Amino acid sequence: MSRIGRLTCDLRISIHMLISQHHALIGEESITGMVGTIEQQCNVLKVVEDAYNAARVLCEREYLDSPRLKATCLDTTDSNPETRDQVSAAMVPAHLHHIMFEILKNAMRATCEFAE
């Protein structure tokens, strides 16, 4: 597929996602019956931990070991000390998962190959 073809396909997918999300937010069913893909209270740390676990499986399969992850969150806008470590945002969890999976996979590979 040419670069222009990929961009057109990506644009079409993005527009479809936005239309689907709009219909879901106003309570209407979309033409295809799909619901929106944006989670309004996406738990960011959970998505990152899921992406780490997926990348860890690949790393352990390739290198028989994997770096450990210690991830924490801090919401500096939250004045309640009991909930400051719970960060949520309106986003597409699958997109965040994909991005974090790629970042973590590359970091784990570099760690295993160069920092033994």
Question: Which sequence positions are flagged as catalytic?
Answer: 98, 102, 105-106
**CA 87/CA 64 separation, integer angstroms:** 33
| DSSP one-letter string for 56-73 | HHHHHHHHS---------
Query: Degrees (nearest 5) of the Cα angle 42, 56, 17?
Result: 35
Name the residue among 10, 32, 8 with its Cα closest to residue 20: 32
Local structure of 39: helix, strand or coil: strand
